[in-house]
Structure 1
Amino acid sequence: MAKVRLLAHGRTWETEVPVGSTLLAASKRVGAPEGDMCGGVCACSACHVYVTKGRELLTQAELDEEDMLDKAFDVRASSRLGCQAKILKDGDIEAEISRESLDSFYKEHPSVQDPRKA
């Protein structure tokens, strides 16, 4: 099992998921506010995260993911799409949910209060 830690709003969500899971699946498991407008099929950049620890435990970004990240906002060297970043090995992984992903999540879930607007 891999331990995944997701960060947003000064808060941390942690879960353990089996190898083969994606970062998006891990975020859904714990209710972290990561967007997934396309349903996790690499057709948007709503699940954009910054992997801050454990990048070597994930699959490499493929061409489709890199093309989609070219359309994302505030792309960094650590950027990944949560739907495409599959866990290859056990270990600790940490990812910060991007502002773009947070914006998407709160648009997708209007009944959930956005703490940035409180």
Structure 2
Amino acid sequence: MPKITFLPNADLCPEGITVEAEKGESILEVALRNDIEIDHACEMSCACSTCHCIVRKGFDSLEPSDEQEDDMLDKAWGVEPHSRLSCQARVDDEDLTVEIPRYSLNHAKEDH
């Protein structure tokens, strides 16, 4: 079973954590199941950029992003070559290391 290591994030996961993932799950689904509340304003429909993450290890094991995801990533804060939308990036057999950026462009965040 693959594992995802979420690097420390001061607001969402201060200590960092390594969790098990099911093949085919999105990075966001794994995060939410483990109480890492990554912003996701569009209900995982690839219509915003709030769930942007950076895959620091295991990036090449993910299916390539499609044009819609690439268009949304163009709007994300702090995009890097290994950036993905966590709602679209699905776990395969390889372990991942994921960084959740400190900021997102969520203009409709609830629970302020």
- Relative to the length of structure 2, the TM-score reads 0.85
Which has more strand, going by share of residues? 1
Q: Which runs of 4+ in 1 moved over 2 A?
A: 107-110
Gaps of 5+ in 2: none
Cα RMSD for the two superposed structures = 1.6
Q: Structure 1 residue 95 and structure 2 residue 63: aligned?
A: no
Which has more helix, going by share of residues? 1
Which of 69, 76, 80 is 1:76 aligned to?
80
Q: Deviations over 1:27-83 (max 9, x none)?
A: 001111311111111010010001101112211111110000111111110111000
Within 5 Å, give how 1:1-118 maps onto structure 2.
Answer: 1-7=1-7, 8-9=9-10, 10-88=14-92, 90-101=93-104, 104=106, 107-110=109-112
- Relative to the length of structure 1, the TM-score reads 0.81
State how many pairs are aligned: 106
Alpha-carbon distance, 1:6 to partner: 1.2
